[in-house]
Amino acid sequence: MNTTLVIMAAGLGSRYGGNKQVDRIGPHGEILLEYSIFDALAAGFDKVVFIIKRGMEENEVIKSVMARLAAQGVEGVCVVQEYANLPGGFTPPAERTKPYGTVHAVYSAKDAIHEPFAVINADDYYGRDAFEAMARQLKSMGPNDKHAAMVGYQLRNTVSENGHVTRGVCQTENGRLVKVVETYKIQPCPDGTIRDLADGGEGTVLPPDVPVSMNFWGFTPWFFAVAESHLTAFLEGSGDPMTKEYALPTLVDQLMHEENLPVDVLTTPAVWFGVTYQQDKPFVAEELKKLHDSGFYPPQL
Which helix (H) or strand (E) segment is 213 a member of? strand 211-219
Q: What is the mean pLDDT of the chain?
A: 89
Task: Write the pLDDT tens digit of every residue in 219-273.
Answer: 999 999 999 999 999 999 999 999 999 999 899 999 999 999 999 999 877 778 8
The stretch 101-105 carries a mean pLDDT of: 95
**Residue 178 pLDDT class (50, 70, 90 cuts):** very high
The whole-number pLDDT of residue 21 equals: 54
The stretch 118-125 carries a mean pLDDT of: 92
pTM of the complete model: 0.87
Q: Where are the alpha helices (DSSP H) in the chain?
A: 32-43, 60-71, 102-107, 128-139, 222-236, 248-258, 281-293
How far is 166 from 184, CA to CA, in rounded Å?
4
Cβ pair 76, 50 in contact under 8 A: yes
Dihedral over Cα of 137, 143, 147, 148: its sign:
positive
Query: Is the pLDDT confidence value at 136 over 90?
Result: yes
The whole-number pLDDT of residue 31 equals: 87
- For the chain, percent of residues with pLDDT exceeding 70: 96
What single DSSP character describes residue 110?
G
**Residue 177 pLDDT class (50, 70, 90 cuts):** very high
Query: Is the pLDDT confidence value at 11 over 70?
Result: no
Cβ pair 260, 172 in contact under 8 A: no
Task: Write the pLDDT tens digit of every residue in 41-62.
Answer: 999 999 999 999 888 888 788 8
How far is 295 from 297, CA to CA, in rounded Å?
5
The stretch 110-136 carries a mean pLDDT of: 94
**Residue 12 pLDDT class (50, 70, 90 cuts):** very low
The whole-number pLDDT of residue 10 equals: 80
